[in-house]
Structure 1
Amino acid sequence: MADPYTPDSQQPAEPQPRPNAAGREPNWERAALERIALAAIHEQRAARRWKIFFRFAFLAMWLLIFFGIFSVSHETPVATGRHTALISLEGEIAADGNANAKDIDRSLRRAFADDDTAGVVLYINSPGGSPVQAGIINAEIRRLRKKYPAKPLYVVVGDMCASGGYYVAAAADKIYVDRASIVGSIGVLMDGFGFTGLMDKLGIQRRLHTAGANKGFYDPFSPDTPAMDAHAQDMLDQIHQQFIDAVKQGRGARLHETPDMFSGLFWTGEKSVALGLADGFGDTGYVAREVIKAPDIVDYTEKEGISDRIARKFGAAVGAGAVHALVMGGWKLH
């Protein structure tokens, strides 16, 4: 007879869970509820993390705006006694760019108004740009030279002083260049594109409705006409003559005029001196030291603050979007 306590003894088997009629394990409802609860917890944690992130981002944005509003954007140069005032005009001359008439003119006024300023150097490294902005700066230079006759203004050219850049430079007492600088390009252009041929090939029809016979003037998707070309050329010629008059007024008898001087060509700094477009060779340090006789240089260039940059970019984006929706291209002294 077998021992009832040995492994071979017969023991009643424990009941095993059996699937129900639907094939699910017992207590499946509880397991499903637990999974749902865990998923909800994870979702709540993720939502809290994103909420914290956005709060910090919002705070950072407001701190940036606060800093921009209350930051000093127009620093006054530190007085150093008798000195040469420096203003830099670099890049394209445009109302929405760093080289704009408002900032350059304000820098010029501050430089001239300083009692310790012995002379002003306007450093130009620009391919040109807006004839309006260049003309405003040219006029302000002439006004300040008349108001402060004892304080000369000299232009020092970097790599390039072309077109609108030279429009500005022509108002100076003298212009100094490097022998390899690019100088000149006294001309005006109006650029854009026409897509009518491509549209015909693609079978695209332009639907333009205007109130006013010339409201769609030079629409890039419509063909131009001889009348449009004549009107545009007339405006170009007018602006070109304004440019020529400013150069002749500023340079006077120093110009050795040639047939192609006002044709839009440009020359090296060495050739520009020979043509009377410039007066000599030298950099900023040379002019301050040897010409103005005030080697200490103080930079009066307008420093743009964050708030100014945000406001200008926003305004420029709104304005440019409206303008370019009507006209692609524009007038440039390039």
Structure 2
Amino acid sequence: MKFPFLAQRLFNTPLAITPGKAEVIMAALAERMGIAQMQRSVSMMDDDDYDYTGPGDNPRTGYDVVAGTAIVPVAGTLVQKLGTLRPYSGMTGYDGIRQNFLTALADPKVKAIVLDVDSPGGEVAGCFDLVDTIYKARGTKPVRAILNEAAYSAAYAIASAADSIYVPRTGGTGSIGVIWMHMDWSKALDAAGFKVTFVTYGDSKADGHPEIELSPEAYARFKAQIDSMGELFVETVARNRDIPASQVRATQAATYMGAAGVSQGLADGVMAPDAAFRALLADIN
């Protein structure tokens, strides 16, 4: 089932996603699932019936080739492993993006690669390894990120690894930050007449579980981890975009529309997606 999968992906895990998108997902879960259902979801997370397979006419090709250019989709919520080469059910997997990128890189028919990006971001897990893979391939073939319309958070990290980034007038860049949400069900469980007792080995073993309140000590430890991930994000973007880390850090995870992102050094130009694609074709032909 889809909701346990979403709950597992959303709560108690570091995310590089815009807060607004996270709130939308949380609202959808809250509306459709009561506390009892949430409890059931937790017990099913390792044995749900979510369809991971997804559609695909050619299982070996997750991108289209137009005039010698591979168009690699980076769309919807980004997750570490989806098991498909193309976006599916509103998500794209880092596993699919990596496979598509490396296949296009080795494909003799492909002269250039476009990262076709429209995403609010997603999971931290797996994101920066993918970013490094794209960054290290610079110089092999032209790689251009064309936003259609936005690249926020984890999606921006991926876009920043390209040789250049083009954003439309109403598109967006930024949200260079990390968020972690702790869902506290303890009061709802009390109201429902349930009491959960954890028997653990290790004082911190149960930290972060939604059935108990988050202690100050646990919060401090998780905050330190989030700060470390945030600094990795800042340093990665600074390297990719060749701008000072202090300049990236000063954005404080803000988002920028169109030309405002260019002025921050987060994009190279304002251009509609079709115009950006034609410009790339002119460059390689």
1:248 to 218, 221, 238: 238
2:69 partner SS: strand
Alignment pair present for 1:210 and 2:200: yes
2:225 alignment counterpart = 235
Cα distance in 2, alignment partners of residues 76 and 203 from structure 1: 49
2:59 alignment counterpart = 73
2:200 partner SS: coil
Q: Which has the higher strand share?
A: 2
2:171 alignment counterpart = 181
Alignment pair present for 1:102 and 2:88: no
1:306 alignment counterpart = none
1:144 alignment counterpart = 137
Give the Å deviation of 1:209: 1.1
Is the CA contact 2:62–2:72 (under 8 Å) kept in the aligned structure 1? no
2:211 to 218, 221, 224: 221
Change (3 A) 1:284 1:254: farther
Unaligned runs of 5+ in 1: 1-67, 297-334
1:269 to 229, 246, 258: 258
Give the Å deviation of 1:145: 1.6
2:110 alignment counterpart = 117
* Count of aligned pairs between the two proteins: 222
2:77 to 92, 101, 118: 92
Alignment pair present for 1:134 and 2:127: yes
Cα distance in 1, alignment partners of residues 64 and 175 from structure 2: 37
Q: Deviations over 1:103-148 (max 9, x none)?
A: 11121122222334332111111111112232122111112224x1
Change (3 A) 1:115 1:194: same
Change (3 A) 1:253 1:112: same
Is the CA contact 1:255–1:275 (under 8 Å) kept in the aligned structure 2? no
2:183 alignment counterpart = 193
1:218 partner SS: coil
Give the Å deviation of 1:259: 6.5
Q: Which moved more, 1:176-185 or 1:279-288?
A: 279-288
Give the Å deviation of 1:254: 8.4
Tell me which amino acid in the other structure corresponds to 1:170: S
Q: Which has the higher contact order (CA 8 A, sep 6+)?
A: 1
Tell me which amino acid in the other structure corresponds to 1:242: L
Of all paired residues, the percent bearing the same amino acid is 24
Alignment pair present for 1:282 and 2:267: no
Unaligned runs of 5+ in 2: 1-53
Change (3 A) 1:100 1:259: closer
Give the Å deviation of 1:169: 0.9
Give the Å deviation of 1:284: 4.0
Cα distance in 1, alignment partners of residues 253 and 64 from structure 2: 41
Is the CA contact 2:111–2:284 (under 8 Å) kept in the aligned structure 1? no
Q: Which has the larger radius of gyration?
A: 1
Q: Structure 1 length as normaliser, TM-score?
A: 0.60
Change (3 A) 1:204 1:249: same
Is the CA contact 1:86–1:122 (under 8 Å) kept in the aligned structure 2? yes
Is the CA contact 1:255–1:276 (under 8 Å) kept in the aligned structure 2? no
Cα distance in 2, alignment partners of residues 156 and 72 from structure 1: 24
Change (3 A) 1:195 1:79: closer
Change (3 A) 1:235 1:183: same
1:117 partner SS: coil
1:222 partner SS: coil
Change (3 A) 1:182 1:212: same
Cα distance in 2, alignment partners of residues 274 and 133 from structure 1: 29
